[in-house]
A = this chain, B = another copy of it.
Amino acid sequence: MTCRDALTHAADNEERYVDDLKTLLRIPSVSADPAGVSECVEFLSAHLMGMGMTVSVFKTERNPIIVGELKGTSPRTVLFYGHYDVQPPDPIEAWEHPPFAACECDGRIYARGAVDDKGNFFCIVKAIQSYVETAGSLPCSVKFVLEGEEEMGSESIADFVPQNLQLLRCDDMVWFDGGIHADGRPEVCLGMKGMAYVELSVESAVRDLHSGKAPLVDNAAWRLVWALRSLYGPDQRIAIPGFYDDVVGPSPSDARLIAGSRLTAQDILKDWTIQRLRDGYEGLPGDELLKRLYFEPTCTICGITTGYQGPGSKTVIPHTARAKVDFRLVPKQDPGDIIAKLRSHLCRQGFGDVEVSVDSAMPASKSDPDADVVRKMLDVMRSSYGQPVVKPIVEGSGPGCVFEQLGVPYVFARLGPAEDRSHSPNEYTTREAYRKGIATVIRLIAEYSH
């Protein structure tokens, strides 16, 4: 009966649990903001300790890693993961509510991190708390690892995990991030893309020059544009030689999972709340779109800055130009190899003046679709939300590759609301999503009681 008690308790204490979430959301723990990060680490470790967990905070070269542990009744141990850092709120002027105020309006709670990932992992925290506050203990042992660099490449946790295999030992691993589908269907995910995030920069002179000098001098902006164009063009193929060498398409089992999700172009538009896909893509069958979404590596310009960007005109030759570029990689692609190929491609194309600095690099990963934890998660999600969409690889990147080293299967799912505004302005969660999320984790933990 502990599960039912915990569920009732969570419902009875919704107001208090929502207040705690708002407190967390008000901490501006942008990955690159040390003050916000340290405030968040203090809050979370105190909060977990307050629930009776043993908490250790591990310093890293960048943001601390928090590990909490609480022994339970059964001999089984589930390791939960979450990340307390958030994306920068830019463009800040596009927010209707301040990004770190956690304003509540019509059942929505607006904040950067409301979905990605505070609003998700806090459901785990509150599920544990519900057990502790009712039964006084958990049905199974629980470990919780919270990192603060997910939005900047998860470098520290990549070092931390292999050095702390004993500390993190578990039977299964689980985490939550993102939101459910527009039609209310939940999502269960078994793999994630890898990532190579680089900055390309060019310096063509010691200062900006009057554009009348253009016939005789180089322009950093042109050099960068040409270099970028050499990577990827309107044919949608990444032109770096060897880029696709290690790409493996979907296996028959992957294809089955994709087909089972029965998503159409219209579902995707609705899920993403956008008006259109790439030209011509809306006519493609859902399976084909999902195959591309999950199994195609990509090269994205995330930002470019160069020269004059203010109002009106300024006739200058920019002397510096920078682009942030991310490569989302699929299983078997090695980010180090991709970056080496990028560098040598640029040199061969005559862009030796374009410097490549690596911001983060992480391979893709895929979990075992037949593992017990997958079945458990599917059962629980089905009972909370209905028949899940199962994704062999999600379109986002994350630390799956790191946790593969624990040698246990992993699965992750999404507890946020249907309209997922992760990384976008006006990110929000809802009371309903939070309530259902907590109940879902309570049920998942109950699955481990024997």
Contact between chains at A206 and B301 (CB < 8 Å): no
A347 to chain B, nearest CB (A): 14
Contact between chains at A318 and B301 (CB < 8 Å): yes
Contact between chains at A211 and B318 (CB < 8 Å): no
A374 to chain B, nearest CB (A): 21
* A313: contacting residue among B153, B212, B214, CB under 8 A: B153
A248 at the interface (CB under 8 A from B): no
When C-beta atoms are compared, the residue in chain B nearest to A195 turns out to be B315
Residues of B within 8 Å of A193, CB to CB, are 212
Residues of B within 8 Å of A228, CB to CB, are 225
Q: How many of chain A's residues have a CB under 8 angstroms from any CB in B?
A: 87
Contact between chains at B213 and A395 (CB < 8 Å): yes
| Contact A324/B313 with A215-B296, A217-B277, A229-B229 known, Cβ cut-off 8 Å | yes
A16 at the interface (CB under 8 A from B): no
When C-beta atoms are compared, the residue in chain B nearest to A221 turns out to be B301
A1 at the interface (CB under 8 A from B): no
* Bound form: Cα–Cα A278–B217 in Å: 4
Contact between chains at A314 and B274 (CB < 8 Å): no
When C-beta atoms are compared, the residue in chain B nearest to A153 turns out to be B313
A275 at the interface (CB under 8 A from B): yes
A87 at the interface (CB under 8 A from B): yes
Which of A205, A292, A308 has most B Cβ within 10 Å?
A308
**Contact flags A88-101 to B (C-beta < 8 A → 1, else 0):** 10110010000000
* A305: contacting residue among B214, B226, B309, B324, CB under 8 A: B309
Residues of B within 8 Å of A305, CB to CB, are 304-305, 309
| Contact A94/B207 with A225-B229, A395-B212, A396-B212 known, Cβ cut-off 8 Å | yes
A380 to chain B, nearest CB (A): 25
A435 at the interface (CB under 8 A from B): no
Contact between chains at B221 and A303 (CB < 8 Å): yes
A104 at the interface (CB under 8 A from B): no
Contact between chains at B306 and A88 (CB < 8 Å): no
| Contact A360/B313 with A207-B424, A304-B304, A304-B321 known, Cβ cut-off 8 Å | yes
Contact between chains at A211 and B313 (CB < 8 Å): no
Contact between chains at A214 and B152 (CB < 8 Å): no
**Contact flags A401-440 to B (C-beta < 8 A → 1, else 0):** 0000000000000000000001111000000000000000
Residues of B within 8 Å of A296, CB to CB, are 215
A70 at the interface (CB under 8 A from B): no
**A and B contact pairs by CB, cutoff 8 A, 12 listed:** A211-B326, A215-B298, A216-B277, A216-B292, A219-B301, A221-B302, A226-B233, A301-B307, A303-B316, A312-B359, A314-B324, A314-B423
Residues of B within 8 Å of A208, CB to CB, are 91, 423-425
A76 to chain B, nearest CB (A): 32
Contact between chains at B423 and A316 (CB < 8 Å): yes
Closest 8 CB pairs of A and B: A303-B307, A212-B395, A221-B301, A214-B298, A212-B396, A303-B308, A229-B229, A305-B309
